[in-house]
Structure 1
């Protein structure tokens, strides 16, 4: 049975609380399927929300980038951060404009990020970034060298304060609207990979790996 992450005051879903979910497995599944997170923070009194890639190892989320990045330089000071990930699963068309909606799965994480100093943990985080994007890639590519490792800042964020929110199903109309002669229902959406395009300098003898030809974001 999935463990539940007890909601904190910050992670408790207040708007439509029945859509809130605090199970660890649900939170992990959403994070593992997503590709981009949005990092919210305040720097010098100005709010910022920055999209970036991420990776997860167990109960820790990792973000990375250049040491010159304003976002990373600010977060390593130990300020509060809010990270969100959203997956859009469909459009919900109701009989009234008011009740149109979307089906989605989302995660919100609150916490304080810290610099990853340990070389082994840093390398494990970089592997997590690569494998998160495309599973099986890390073992095939060249590993980061010393200058590349030195030029990459990695921050860790514990998933201690995290919650999920989900909407599924069809429209919920006012009872009197169900008699209207208007189509209502769902338009499912998903992120789909198309045909891979080889690099112009790829040697013709190199075959397309199976993990690329069968790539999918559905977990």
Structure 2
């Protein structure tokens, strides 16, 4: 089994589309890591996330907006020899991306971001009450770097 690196945007987006959550990693200014699972939306090289207006993640991001976000849709146990422990591994695909969080404050852009977020989960159109839009924190992450790997791929002869 081997690891393949994928650079094709279609493959990268396919892996992301299969995910119901992503894991957002951030680091406080003292280096303390903090990782949280989040719902997300993706369009044209930009990730959208949402949260409450305040909390630990917001405090950290106000000090250091740099994030690392990972996606892994499914895993499957694979092995080359059932008797050899070191031949076991997980067959999976993953995407990891890096960028800076910008909190979106413009009302119309927040609604657009929420629409993109909801498209990850349903094709149903939504309307949002003004208080809901004003009270949600919308995160925009323009992706600086992205990688996609497939682990445990069989050797092809």
Aligned Cα RMSD in Å?
A: 2.0
Residue 124 (str. 1) matches residue 131 (str. 2): no
Name 1:30's counterpart in structure 2. Answer: 15
Q: Computing the radius of gyration over CA atoms, which structure comes out larger, 1 or 2? A: 1
Number of matched pairs: 151
Q: Aligned equivalents of 1:77 and 1:85: distance in 2?
A: 25
Large movers: runs of 4+ above 6 Å: none
Name 1:163's counterpart in structure 2. Answer: 147
Q: Confirm or deny: 8 A CA contact 1:67 1:73 kept in the other structure.
A: no
Ranges in structure 2 where 5+ consecutive residues have no aligned partner:
none
Q: Aligned equivalents of 1:150 and 1:73: distance in 2?
A: 19
TM-score, scaled to structure 2: 0.85
1:168 Cα deviation after fit:
4.8
Point out which structure has higher relative CO (alpha carbons under 8 A, 6+ apart). 2
Q: Aligned equivalents of 2:58 and 2:117: distance in 1?
A: 16
Ranges in structure 1 where 5+ consecutive residues have no aligned partner:
1-15, 172-219
Name 1:64's counterpart in structure 2. Answer: 50
Cα 1:133–1:32, aligned 2, differ >3 Å: closer, same or farther? Answer: same
Mapping of 1:167-206 within 5 angstroms?
A: 167-170=151-154
Q: Aligned equivalents of 1:59 and 1:76: distance in 2?
A: 22
Q: Confirm or deny: 8 A CA contact 2:28 2:63 kept in the other structure.
A: no
Q: Aligned equivalents of 2:94 and 2:104: distance in 1?
A: 26
Mapping of 1:7-22 within 5 angstroms?
A: 19-22=4-7
Q: Aligned equivalents of 2:68 and 2:33: distance in 1?
A: 11
- Normalized per residue, the structure richer in strand is 2
